Structure 1
């Protein structure tokens, strides 16, 4: 299956703004050119790209869930799994920094701008290959240094992350193994960002399928020989498979439509080529600090959790894994639409970018709130169904389910941050047009750090709530700190979009969020009543989940939430005979 649009239209610019009135364009941005006659249907492309991405991501998530089930079955929740999960902090930190967040925030806008310049100057040296030559060698050198440093500093990392571990030796060994993931993770993130900017979503969406297959292969064959170390080795093997999956598609895209043109080497010649790009290396710092600060919430949990009873870190991990399933589809929405937003901003079309961001905020919230309502209603039965076997007992089920319910309060904010931060960083990417001579004032540079500052304030909330609540509530206090901190950050980032020049209509967005939240509260209450009827975990999950879905759809439609009402009415029309709609018995609202 292939989710790519036709090759001729991969780099097609976005259509002009739909709203009247000019908008200020980012520095160096050109006015958006008219869309070519052969441009693909935007809605059809998005549906196809989302379908491919959702299918492969769901497969990767299912394999990841199977991985967690096997970890629970083979090793339970004890000192051994705590040691591995401390070591897993390395790939957990590297993945958002190098694959999901920071690398995408940097390179999707950079490749999008290069594609715009390729269209504007088809006779000039290809800016896409110029960008690769200027960035990829330095990236590989930095990744090798980081991987080696993490392996050599494993004892210090373990002491810093979890000073309360009774036997840190196993954690040090696993950390040295997982440190090998930094290089392939970074390469996979770079190649995946380039492919998404080219509107190729199939291969990037499949990387977690390859990753988890590698982990499962080693875990199933070697768990009796190497114990929990087999999971760490599987992580390293899976990371290599991720990068290998993307090399072929990237090389095919790199050849592009102008493969015969010469590419200037950085540092040679008399200056920037017409239509070329100039790197802004310092633009990397705010993105990296934001991502690391966001990941620091996990560091806080591991640090405080290491002083709690054995198994606490494992309960937090299993709860986080289940909770994140509710976010998968929400994050997929902005993953697919991010290149469109970045391309619009590169072309100076702020209205199209704003409209797309507002739509993404509504759709992501609808998806994640439906998932949150399901978790609130069915957490005990879901955990029992997934994990309660082998070394994972009823007490572990109860503890993990309670943490899931507290975590769920922060899931909508997690989704909103994923949507908002992408266009924020796209306004000033890591490259600029070679002909842009406008001064870069200090105020704009200061705004680059706004997301990192917002995340730092949110992290402060997490630490304060965690310190205050952990003595009395244990793991639940840590989860409450996580939810409170990430919600504070989301509120600050919504303000940051306005400061950045993306004029999101805040009142309209918040009104839509309120309607969706009301529907989710009602659905969670009804689902909890239904889930409490059967004793069997499978029946409880199915009945509770079906109730949540139906009530959320009904209330969302009744409250006028467009993100729910539109799909519901479309489904009803598809099921009803045309004569009923023709007779006016079915509403035709938006």
Structure 2
């Protein structure tokens, strides 16, 4: 190879690596340029998107500010409208109150209960005078059995239309009407006319169907014709009791407890007057006519106060509570009738026993019910407050109210149970052993009374639990179901025991059935109404039960020291009261409202 060729070849070899080196550099340059272009493009895109987002956010912010401004204006308008409405309602109520007295009167629970107790005790005492006159005049035989079949009409209508159903329905309705409108007049105008119409139809049906009713209730009765006449005379009470019951509920919701508590004074006065004036001419029918007359007196006794408490108010549309009235009436009516059916079972099964058995059951029941009625005055007075707490959905106030009612009522009724078991024979002899009411009738009534007394706690707890249920808005069917279960227990025990033990077995069936129903209702209160604390209640009730047993033993020992009924009853009663107080009251916390600490730790119990 010549020198020039070698030089050319070396140049080509030298140029090859240089070209190879330039090619990656060119690629890198192109990649850098492309990346720069892409970066510029992406940056421009991001800037464009950012500008769009900024513009959108400014528009969104302006839109939100506009919405907030509109919402503020609407809220201000609503507030102004509501304020104006409240001022208008307040002006209407103030205008009405200038011409009338205040609708609701604030009263002390203790004072109202004491006043009611005095008047009810007076009515009960007059009722014993009535029964004493009945026992002295007619004894315990076929005539009184016939009257007591007719007596079942007011006996059923009274809890249905005065004490239980009507009160459980009307007191919450009137309480809500007073809270919402300041007057119960529109409610009274809407309820009373149809109430009177319906009850008039019922009374007419009872009068027309009296023969069939007597045959169904007491198939073995010795004097069915007298019973038919008594049923027809007593049918008037259905209408009068309904009116009197609505008046009582309205007055209690207004804080006026005197006239409602005095109705049984008027009632028994009418019966006594009729017996004394007509007994020689009409016999036992005079008592049935007196029942009708006494029911009219019940209305007249409350009429002045009822008219005064209905302050003027513009007519308003029916409230939701009024719209639910038919369903609520049905639930309360079924509950009350299932409870009262205990008496139907007794009369039906007792009709096949010896003559006078139904009368003995009736007299024993009347004596046993006195402490129950007096103890339930506590919840009668507190019921409007319970209804108001339920209307305001204050669960804690409802729970505390129910717990307090259970403990206070239990203390009263268990002390009375101890007294009746220990001294029931002396009480019956003192009240009824006169004239035609002989020693055998008194002994039979006393045996029944001691057994009846064992069911008093169940009777009162049914009353307490029922008020807790029906203070709520709308129908409540659990009380009716619980009472129906208790009635099934009564029927089973009565059918099985009446052949072996006679009338005392019927009293035992009553006590067992009503106690079973009470326990079911208390469980329902905890499940559906308020979380009452069973552990707290169990401690208090256990102590009260121990006190009742000790007091009963002391009463039995004390009354055996004397023979005459009056000293024996007084001495036994003093012993019962003393021992019960000594055992039950040292730890009076069982009767106090729950403490603040207990309220705070309610979730741990």
Please classify the TM superposition score into its range, dividing by the shorter chain length: 0.7 to 0.9
**Residue 469 of structure 2 is aligned to residue 469 of structure 1:** no
- What does residue 263 of structure 1 align with? 315
Deviation, 1:560, is 5.0
Q: Is the 8 A contact 1:385 1:538 kept in 2?
A: yes
Higher helix share: 2
Are 1:51 and 2:96 an aligned pair?
no
Correspondence 1:247-326 to 2 at 5 A:
247-255=303-311, 259=312, 261-264=313-316, 278-326=323-371
Matches of 2:587 and 2:221, distance apart in 1:
50
Per the TM alignment, residue 328 of structure 1 is displaced from its structure 2 partner at its CA by: 2.4
For 2:204 and 2:378, the matched residues in 1 are separated by 35
- CA offsets per residue over residues 213-256 of structure 1, 9 Å max, x none? 1111111222222111111011000000001112221111112x
CA gap 1:470/1:210 in 2 versus in 1, 3 angstroms: same
Summarize deviations over 1:423-446 as a string: whole Å, max 9, x none. 2011124xxxxxxxxxxxxxxx6x
2:548 is the counterpart of 1:520: yes
Residue 497 of structure 1 pairs with residue 525 of structure 2: yes
Match of 2:390 in 1: 345
The answer as to 2:119 corresponding to 1:91 is no
1:510 aligns to what SS in structure 2?
helix
Q: Does 1:100 align with 2:100?
A: no
Structure 2 counterpart of 1:588: none
Give the C-alpha shift of residue 507 in structure 1: 1.4
The answer to whether structure 1 residue 186 and structure 2 residue 242 are counterparts is yes
Aligned to 2:276: 220
Which blocks of at least 5 consecutive residues in structure 1 are unaligned?
A: 1-37, 120-125, 267-271, 430-444, 566-590
CA contact (8 A) 1:117 1:276 kept: no
Aligned positions of 1:41-440 closer than 5 A: 45-118=108-181, 128-255=184-311, 259=312, 261-264=313-316, 278-429=323-474
> 1:67 and 1:236 mapped to 2: Cα distance?
15
CA displacement 1:422-477 (0-9 Å, x = unmatched): 12011124xxxxxxxxxxxxxxx6xx211111001100000000001100100011
From the CA coordinates, give the structure whose radius of gyration is larger: 2
SS at structure 2 position matched to 1:533 = coil
Q: 2:486, 2:514 within 8 Å by CA — same for their partners in 1? A: yes
- How far the C-alpha of 1:99 sits from its partner, in A, is 0.3
1:529 and 1:193 map into 2 onto residues whose CA distance is: 44
Tell me if structure 2 keeps the 8 A contact 1:463–1:481. yes
TM-score, normalised on structure 2? 0.79
Write out per-residue CA displacement over residues 476-521 of structure 1, whole angstroms, 9 at most, x where no aligned residue.
1100100000000011001111222311111111221111011000
Q: 1:306-365 deviations in whole A, cap 9, x for unaligned?
A: 000001001100100111112122111111111110011112222112111111111111
Contact 1:516 1:561 in 2 (8 A): no
1:395 and 1:158 map into 2 onto residues whose CA distance is: 27
- TM-score, normalised via structure 1 length: 0.81
Two-structure CA RMSD over aligned residues (Å): 2.1
Q: Hey, what's the Cα distance between the residues in 2 that align with 1:391 and 1:146?
A: 36
Give the aligned partner of residue 574 of structure 2: 546
Task: Name the CA distance, whole Å, in 2 between partners of 1:455 and 1:161.
Answer: 20
Q: Does the 8 Å CA contact 1:188/1:246 hold for their aligned counterparts?
A: yes
* 1:391, distance to aligned residue in structure 2 (A): 0.7
- Evaluate the alpha carbon distance shift between residue 280 and residue 99 of structure 1 in structure 2; reply closer, same or farther with a 3 A threshold: closer
Structure 2 unmatched ranges of 5 or more: 1-101, 594-605
Deviation at 1:564, TM superposition (A): 9.6
Aligned length: 493
- Distance verdict in 2 for CA 1:87–1:362, change over 3 Å: same
Which residue of structure 1 lines up, in the alignment, with residue 92 of structure 2? none
The equivalent residue for 1:481 is 509
What is the CA-CA distance between 1:39 and the residue it aligns to? 13
CA distance in 2, matches of 1:202, 1:250: 12
- Three-state SS of the structure 2 residue aligned to 1:535 is coil
Structure 2 Cα separation of the partners of residues 356 and 560 of structure 1 = 17
The alignment partner of 2:235 has SS state of helix
| Alignment CA distance shift 1:329-1:393 (3 Å) | same
Deviation at 1:173, TM superposition (A): 0.5
Contact in 1 for aligned 2:104/2:255 (Cα 8 Å) = no
Give, in whole Å, the separation in 2 of the partners of 1:239 and 1:252.
21
Counterpart Cα distance in 2 of 1:500 and 1:489: 16
Structure 1 residue 561, shift from structure 2 partner: 6.0
Partner Cα separation in structure 1 for residue 394 and residue 317 of structure 2: 31
Larger relative contact order (C-alpha < 8 A, sep ≥ 6)? 1
Q: Deviation per CA, 1:98-117: give whole Å up to 9, x if none.
A: 00000011110111111111
Q: Distance in 1 between matches of 2:492 and 2:361?
A: 18
